[in-house]
Chains A and B, each alone.
Chain A
Amino acid sequence: MLSVSRTSLAVVVLALAVASIVVLALVPSPVTPKPFMTLHGLGYEVDYYSVSAFNYPVIVFRGFMNSMPVPFTVSLFAIAPNHIYTVGYYSGYGSVVVNLTGSLVRYIASRWVSEFNGALNPSLIAFITYGEGNKTWTVIAAIPYKPSWVVSQEPIEITVNANFTAVKPVIVMPVTKPTGTTQSKPTNGPGSDPFGYTYVGSCIGNPNVTYPPPPQQPPTCARYGFQCYYWALQQCSLFKGPIPLLFVGWSKNAIQNGVSSIFIDYMGGGTAQSGSGLFGTLNRSGNLILVGPTITFSQSYTIETSTATSQVCIVYGPSLTFTGGSCPANNIPSPIYYVPSSGFFYIGLPGRVAYVAFQEYVNNYGYSTPLNVWANGTEPLSLSPKDFAGNYLLVYPYIDVGNGSITGMFAEVLHAYEMRRQLVVSLDDGYNSVANVSACPSPLYGYQELTGNLAFVEYTLGNAITAYSPRPVNIAPLLESLLPGVYVGEVPTIVGHLITGAGTVSTIAGAFIDTNHLLIGANVYVNFNPSSSSSFYITLIGSPQATNPGGSSSIYPMGMIINASNYYLGLRECER
């Protein structure tokens, strides 16, 4: 019996051996497709093949959850030299094929070829989303391509493998704990929830949600008509967390070797005038729209700090520790954050921010059809009652060591910078300890040398940043930056600066603030030892100017970054 089974097994083995030889002969031949280029991003991988199942350029999207194919949708955008176009929305089970044969894609590719002569490889941006229950996972993939492939319709196949397991769900289950997490507490010290935002619930039906201006195409739905266009709110997710206003960031080398301490006095003493407020930001087909103000101050408030002391001291330490004591270098008693790495200190208003997605519809004789036009963004919906005390508007301190909303904002700013070489924040070179000067003519600062080898550079943040006028935005700041909860995670280290290895980042609150009517001050003292400190550079950061419906200029989180090797991003700019 044994010998019979052994005989048959030997026959099988012989057959398998012959089959293996055939397969081995095929593997190195050109019949077998092999990627000629592979790229990775957070939760996705892009492979490029010149052997294709098609005879024109295509992108094959694949979506996996726990390594198994799942149904998913793809929202695909193409970046033209100065516009972002929606290529289309697709859905499928396990795989989705997008042909790069359409006239729009070919037009965009030809623009790149004609303007840059093929010297640049632009990207398509895909939002690949999988939903289950009330959770959605989105992988944002940047897909670089050679425009000539599209123009001459070469049979290039690009496969994009999206691994949803690698990203955090955008909408999570409502928090069932009755007590909120610590980000709404005055000081989110160590041990608190590191995430900047907590999902609260749906905000569909919330009266504070502000719709974008009516779609451009006339006629609108003002009268009962034969054809009209309107916006429908398709998604509204409410998050609880701080709306950042001012920040101070530092790199690890700067805090460890460059400066002795950063002392921040955010007493401010600014005012929020009656009628001023916070705006929402929406991205409609690549154009930034301000909506609101969604929160308006019904009376004038004096901006005041929430805590007993309005000072904080940031010092390098082996682990993140929050304690009281005297700030090293200047010996002023204050709360002290010992920080082991790069991070941000920021002040903000605890509140509720909504992620909203509006879809345009057309109504034909009473039949409504959705169009592929979306306006997505964030709107601050309400401030927390703890923000108010009589005639005072209270601001709260927060620390973000690589997992909070300011890190999230920079992750997305840098992501966009890498993708498009376009900065969505404005930089102004501040102080430079190597030359002991400011590179730009007049960011307002004070420099003083004290006894005992102590010197400091002082900035009054609000004034220093509004002293120069950031350039206006006329194209999309970014799709990504306006999507809260979108998990970018992987922060590109462009010139080896600030944020490296931020494992988890959440988002930004796109709260534009009317700077004509709301001003907060914070004095930042960067203390250092002029004889022994290594070099550091201060860069002032504001966001681009945008025009709100009332016509005045607006700005959102502003701050500064202290870097060790060069000005932040290594860009020398003097915006004025």
Chain B
Amino acid sequence: MSRIRLRATAATALAVLALAAPPTLAHSPDPAIAWPLYTPDDTLQFRWKENEVPPSKMRDAVVAAADDANGSRGSRAPSIVYAAGGSSTVEYGANVFCGVAGLACADGWDAPDTFRVAFRSHGWQFDWGKLQWCQLQSTPQNGCYDIENVGLDEFGHVLGLNHHANYSSESDYLDAVVQTVSHARAKVGWNAHDFGRCDTAKLQLRYDMVNSARKYSTCLDIATALSMSASDRSISLGETVTFTVVVQVADSASYEKLRSNWVSERRIVLERRAPGSSTWTQVAVVPPIASSGMYQIRLSPTTTYDWRGYFYKPTDEGLRASSSAPFTITVSGTCPTCPQAPNPVSTREARP
């Protein structure tokens, strides 16, 4: 077995190991709720239920919550909008699907056609005392619940999210709006009006990304697969080689709708090393050429090197680093006047 092939095999083995690693439990995406998923990119219209119409200020806050969901879903999850003739309902009364303890609740019994969301009445008496909705108080007091926040939680359920699993310290409470225990004013997160990163992560898993350039939630830890090819692996000095890189989400069922997605508009680096060396040098950033996760660059290598493409783990999204299997491009002959390859951008130790 050649040295190159051996390294390629080792890299593949590491990639497989990375794929096989169990997903991290802490800061995991929200669990899924067990009713059928609505159609991606659909628009779910809701109306106020007859004889159970919420008060005006609650209606305003619920519509705002729907806007919050639409603005922060970060995925192809359906949008939720108010329409007088909507087939889904938002209600304000006594509803069987709410259980004995919730402040509000969602039901997908008729999913994926319609949904129901119900809010308990302002002043509802629980064992601990009276439920107070902040928007319905003349001056919001600590201990009241924010309708827009709770509404966003419920719309998260509608879209298929179950409650986020927090650390016992709840230090990650802001990672999700879809929470088991709602926070009253003025506890942390009581008025969060955007889905948290772990809410969005699950929506991305269940509904897919809007396009290949969109950022993956940092609550995800998605393996990527990078492949690189060259137009020629044996050239004469002065000839040009076209390097083509393709980046995808790894092919794993656990990635649900994200599986094998193209990954576009990221920073892909072309690296080289002298044969036998373990130190890789960054040569160039490979520009994207298509939305199908493809990147391309043309170079004229001046001597024989091993080459690989590398995707460094971004700090602002939940994708893992990946590398192509290295290959050698052999350069023969001399050409004193030939243009040189771009200056290296950095030198670094090899990594798998």
Q: Do A and B bind each other?
A: no
Residues of B participating in the A interface, judged by any CB pair closer than 8 Å: none
Residues of A participating in the B interface, judged by any CB pair closer than 8 Å: none
